[in-house]
């Protein structure tokens, strides 16, 4: 199973195995990784699963669609490497993916 690393803004990191086909958000929720709230449950209707994707991974994941980018406008401190983790679907190629959760989600 692909391993995904979640870092918080202070640098503390946790690596977990996430099943193929689940989103990076769902993986975090299942293992109760703090910092990913996912209030809307993954319908791209909030921005509380916002993460910064590690630069070396950012171009390797499929690009965000417009609706996601619009929603990221509403995230807490969006940056160039911001994504909604509910829209990143895990597969073998993402084994080793690192994301950082923002200081807060709201």
Give the binding site for other proteins (CB under 8 A).
37, 39-41, 43, 45-48, 66, 69-70, 73-74, 76-78, 80, 106
Closest alpha carbon to 102 in 75, 73, 80: 75
Sign of CA dihedral 36, 102, 8, 2: positive
Listed in sequence order, the DSSP H helices in 1-104 are: 24-30, 55-58, 66-72
Least distance (Å) between residue 98 CB and other proteins: 22
Least distance (Å) between residue 51 CB and other proteins: 17
Least distance (Å) between residue 5 CB and other proteins: 24
Give the list of residues 6+ apart from residue 41 with CB closer than 8 angstroms, or none: none
> Based on CB atoms, which residue is closest to other proteins, 17 or 39?
39
> Based on CB atoms, which residue is closest to other proteins, 91 or 106?
106
Is residue 27 within 8 Å of residue 18, measured between CB atoms?
A: yes
> Based on CB atoms, which residue is closest to other proteins, 73 or 92?
73
């Amino acid at each position: 199973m692909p391993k995904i690393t979640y870092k918080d803004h202070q640098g503390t990191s946790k690596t977990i195995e996430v099943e193929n086909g689940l989103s990076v958000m769902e993986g975090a929720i299942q293992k109760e990784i703090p910092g990913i709230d996912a209030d809307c449950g993954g319908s791209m209707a909030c921005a509380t699963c916002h993460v910064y994707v590690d630069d070396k991974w950012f171009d390797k994941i499929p690009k965000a669609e417009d609706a996601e980018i619009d929603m990221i406008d509403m995230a807490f401190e969006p940056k160039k490497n911001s994504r909604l983790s509910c829209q990143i679907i895990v597969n073998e190629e993402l084994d080793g993916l690192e994301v950082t959760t923002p200081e807060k989600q709201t």
